[in-house]
Amino acid sequence: MTPATRRAPRKDAQRNRERILEAAREVVAERGVAAKMEDVAARAGVGIGTLYRFVPTKDALFGGILREEAERLAQLAERALALPPGESAFHAWMTEAAAWQGANRAFIDVLVARDPDEPVPRLLSQRLRGLLRDLVRRGQADGDLREDVSASDVMMVLLAVGRIGEGTAATHGAYAKRFLALQLDALAPGGTPLPGKALTERQLELTLDALAHSRRAAAGGRPRGGGPRA
């Protein structure tokens, strides 16, 4: 056996791994974590046995994908915050995040993805929430955002935009942009004071967990793929 022949299986294995990861990203974006491993294998063009040789469980595969997406969402926030004075960082992030959410059925699962390496499981969106607080302060300083709005309010608005986008996708595909514009206008300064208090971080966490569970239940899936665990 020549050295070139010995290297070939490793190259084939690497190609299979890349196809599997890319297929998993596509399937999770299209169907959320209710998708099956068989869906990923079929999209990657590999047998189910090959898939399980690379990743032992659905949790391992989908959990990794969700953590990638959480990082991507945080990077969008960092990019918006890097905009120079005079440019609306808050509006830029909301527009990009809404578009990203519209293309990703697993958005709510991304927000509640758990890091298995943490001794005490925490939401990966802890980092995102810190960035959201910075975006809120920047939006208020820029005059784009009312003073009585919190980061949890912004997250709820973003989720609402996503659900409206899903509901109107087949009837009016462009409506989500109009709805986002309506929400940004409602968040702008000048309105009457908001009643009550915003969600605390703990209340936000419980709300996101509940929404993720109900979404997977509606899709016929179990709480898997790096999502919340009891």
Structural domain span for residue 21: 1-56
For the chain, the helix, strand and coil percentages under 3-state DSSP, each to the nearest 5: 70, 0, 30
Whose structure tokens read 């996708």?
169
Give the contacts of 14 (CB within 8 A, at least 6 positions apart): none
Based on the domain organization, do 122 and 84 belong to the same domain? yes
> 55 pLDDT exceeds 80?
yes
State the Rg of the chain over Cα: 20
> 17 pLDDT exceeds 60?
yes
Based on the domain organization, do 167 and 134 belong to the same domain? yes
Based on the domain organization, do 46 and 147 belong to the same domain? no
Q: What is the CATH classification number for the domain harbouring 165? A: 1.10.357
Answer whether residue 230 is part of any domain. no
Contact 29, 105 (CB under 8 A): yes
Question: Residues 59-90: pLDDT tens digits?
Answer: 888 888 888 888 888 899 999 999 999 999 99
Based on the domain organization, do 130 and 176 belong to the same domain? yes
**DSSP classification of residue 57:** -
Based on the domain organization, do 50 and 123 belong to the same domain? no
Answer whether residue 224 is part of any domain. no
Question: Which pLDDT does position 179 carry in this prediction?
Answer: 95
> 229 pLDDT exceeds 90?
no
pTM: 0.78
Answer whether residue 228 is part of any domain. no
Based on the domain organization, do 196 and 214 belong to the same domain? yes
Separation between Cα atoms, residue 154 and residue 95, nearest integer Å: 12
Based on the domain organization, do 93 and 127 belong to the same domain? yes
Question: Which pLDDT does position 93 carry in this prediction?
Answer: 95
**In the chain, how many domains are there?**
2
> What is the b/e burial string over 162-189, where b = at least 16 CB atoms within 10 angstroms of the residue's CB?
bbbbeeeeeeeeeebeebbeebbeebee
Query: Token pair of 79, please?
Result: 């990019």
For residue 212, give the nearest of 95, 127, 123 by alpha carbon.
123
- Which H helix or E strand runs over 4? helix 3-31
Three-state secondary-structure class, residue 143: coil
pLDDT band for position 224 (cuts 50, 70, 90): very low
The lowest-confidence range among 21-25, 79-83, 120-124, 204-208 is 120-124
Question: Which pLDDT does position 227 carry in this prediction?
Answer: 41
Amino acid at position 1, single letter: M
Residue 64: C-alpha distances to residues 28, 49, 57, 67 (Å): 11, 20, 11, 5
Based on the domain organization, do 92 and 168 belong to the same domain? yes
Contact 159, 204 (CB under 8 A): no
Separation between Cα atoms, residue 169 and residue 33, nearest integer Å: 20
Answer whether residue 93 is part of any domain. yes
Question: Residues 149-168: pLDDT tens digits?
Answer: 999 999 999 999 988 988 89
> 225 pLDDT exceeds 80?
no
> 134 pLDDT exceeds 60?
yes
Task: Report which listed range, 6-10, 60-64, 215-219, is most confident.
Answer: 60-64
Question: Residues 88-133: pLDDT tens digits?
Answer: 999 999 999 999 888 887 787 777 765 555 544 455 467 787 899 9
Answer whether residue 66 is part of any domain. yes
Based on the domain organization, do 96 and 64 belong to the same domain? yes
Start-end of H helices in the chain? 3-31, 37-44, 48-54, 58-81, 89-102, 107-111, 125-142, 151-168, 175-187, 201-218
pLDDT band for position 220 (cuts 50, 70, 90): low
Average model confidence (pLDDT) for the chain? 83
Question: Which pLDDT does position 223 carry in this prediction?
Answer: 39
